[in-house]
Amino acid sequence: MILLGIDVGGSSIKGGLADVTRGELTRELLSLPTPQPWAPDAVMRTVADLSRKLPASGPAGFAFPTVVKRGRARTAANVDEGWIGIDGAALASDAIGRPAVFLNDADAAGIAEIKWGAGRDTPGTVIMLTFGTGIGTAIFSDGRLLPNTEFGHLCMPAGEAEHYASARIKTEQSLDWQQWIDRVNEYLEQMHRLFWPDVFILGGSVSENFDEFRSLLQSPAEIRRARFTAQAGVIGAALAAAMSLDKP
Ligand code: BGC
């Protein structure tokens, strides 16, 4: 079964067709710039564009960087405040003309990694971290997700984690790998102190450079590179859409 996944981020909106029985994209990921500001109507025009370029049938998955409770966006840390209270599935469904499933972007990325990627067949506590405009977190216990964890907003001695150690901050403050990873290590230490995970999975586009910084990373937990890096949100969104078909 091939389903459409959409992942909205601070700089780009990505779309892809994923074979949800094999966990891989069937063609190259498409990406369009995120409209600024990210008001719901503007985002949905881009989603509709992507969906026209990626024809598919069946439900689509729509991953977005907010808490999603009972289908509605509840926070707006890096997005337009107009999203709060929005039924994202209904809006996406209007834009693409088919049913849609709405979920948090880090949860989507984590679902993909647990099912087919770096967290596959891994018992215990696994924490997926996505480093991008913000820091996304998805926490799994024996493969089961605790949805909507928001530990990118953890208060650290230097301030809010995602204002200190996200990939955006690395770029904005022109931090080199060592400077950035020093901050990431502080964050991993705080997260480890709170959750004692067995494994951290590091994701987001920046994880494509994992080989450049892996030797600098430090944690008592095992640290794995995300398998799907920048594609994880799209693949996980498509997987969430597939899972919606199994629900009564
Ligand atoms: C948001 C999260 C999101 C993360 C990564 C944070 O600012 O609050 O919901 O998962 O960014 O995009």
Residue-wise pLDDT for 10-58, tens only, equals 899 999 999 999 999 999 999 999 999 889 999 999 999 999 999 999 9
> What are 108's two structure tokens?
């989507």
CA 164 to ligand 1 centroid distance, Å: 14
| Per-residue burial over 132-149, b = 16 or more CB atoms within 10 Å of its CB, e = otherwise | bbbbbbbbbeeeebeebb
- Choose among 150, 146, 115: nearest CA to 130: 150
> What are 54's two structure tokens?
């990626």
Pocket test for ligand 1, best of 78, 81, 129, 153 (most atoms within 8 A of CB): 78
Ligand 1 pocket check for 134: Cβ under 6 Å: yes
DSSP string, 21-57: TTTEESS--EEEEPPSS--HHHHHHHHHHHHHHS---
- How many C-beta neighbours within 10 Å does residue 184 have? 28
Strands 159-160 and 155-156: antiparallel
Rounded to the nearest integer, the mean pLDDT of the chain is 96
pLDDT for res 247: 76
Q: What are the CA-CA distances from residue 62 to residues 15, 113, 139 (Å)? A: 9, 17, 20
Nearest CA to ligand 1 atom 12: 65
Strands 24-25 and 72-73: unpaired
Nearest CA to ligand 1 atom 11: 134
> What are 187's two structure tokens?
């964050």
Question: Does the reported pTM lie above 0.85?
Answer: yes
pLDDT for res 246: 83
Task: Give me the residues of the chain with pLDDT under 50, please.
Answer: none
pLDDT for res 248: 63
CA 25 to ligand 1 centroid distance, Å: 24
Specify burial of residue 240 (Cβ count, 10 A radius: 0-12, 13-18, 19+). Answer: buried
Q: How far apart are CA 102 and CA 111, in angstroms?
A: 14
Ligand 1 pocket check for 105: Cβ under 6 Å: yes
